[in-house]
Amino acid sequence: MLQELEQIAQIVEQRLEQHETRGRTLTLKVKFSDYHQITRSKTMLAPKA
Protein backbone atom coordinates (compact mmCIF):
# COMPACT_ATOMS: atom_id res chain seq x y z
CA MET A 1 0.00 0.00 0.00
CA LEU A 2 2.86 2.39 0.76
CA GLN A 3 4.29 1.87 -2.74
CA GLU A 4 0.94 2.74 -4.29
CA LEU A 5 0.63 5.83 -2.09
CA GLU A 6 4.12 6.94 -3.13
CA GLN A 7 3.16 6.68 -6.81
CA ILE A 8 -0.01 8.69 -6.23
CA ALA A 9 1.98 11.36 -4.35
CA GLN A 10 4.39 11.67 -7.29
CA ILE A 11 1.48 12.11 -9.71
CA VAL A 12 -0.04 14.82 -7.50
CA GLU A 13 3.32 16.59 -7.29
CA GLN A 14 3.67 16.54 -11.08
CA ARG A 15 0.16 17.94 -11.55
CA LEU A 16 0.83 20.76 -9.08
CA GLU A 17 4.01 21.67 -10.96
CA GLN A 18 2.26 21.52 -14.36
CA HIS A 19 -0.48 23.87 -13.20
CA GLU A 20 1.93 26.06 -11.25
CA THR A 21 -0.19 25.85 -8.13
CA ARG A 22 0.26 25.11 -4.43
CA GLY A 23 -1.79 23.65 -1.65
CA ARG A 24 -1.98 23.70 2.13
CA THR A 25 -4.29 20.75 2.79
CA LEU A 26 -3.79 17.12 1.88
CA THR A 27 -6.78 14.79 2.22
CA LEU A 28 -6.50 11.02 2.05
CA LYS A 29 -9.60 8.88 1.64
CA VAL A 30 -9.34 5.10 2.05
CA LYS A 31 -12.19 2.88 0.93
CA PHE A 32 -12.34 -0.74 2.06
CA SER A 33 -13.91 -3.69 0.25
CA ASP A 34 -16.77 -3.77 2.78
CA TYR A 35 -17.67 -0.17 1.73
CA HIS A 36 -16.30 1.25 4.98
CA GLN A 37 -14.21 4.38 4.43
CA ILE A 38 -11.99 6.67 6.45
CA THR A 39 -10.81 10.18 5.62
CA ARG A 40 -7.86 12.03 7.11
CA SER A 41 -6.70 15.59 6.38
CA LYS A 42 -3.57 17.52 7.26
CA THR A 43 -3.34 21.30 6.82
CA MET A 44 0.05 23.04 6.88
CA LEU A 45 0.66 26.63 7.94
CA ALA A 46 2.28 27.56 4.60
CA PRO A 47 1.50 26.30 1.10
CA LYS A 48 3.57 23.42 -0.23
CA ALA A 49 4.29 22.89 -3.89
Overall average pLDDT of the 1-26 stretch: 91
Nearest of 33, 32, 26 to residue 9 by alpha carbon: 26
Domain residue spans of the chain: 2-48
What SS3 state is found at 42? strand
Which value, in Å, is the radius of gyration of the alpha carbons in the chain?
A: 13
Whether 29 contacts 23, CB under 8 Å: no
Say if residue 48's pLDDT is above 90. Answer: no
* More confidently predicted of 34 and 5: 34
What's the mean pLDDT when you consider all of the chain? 91
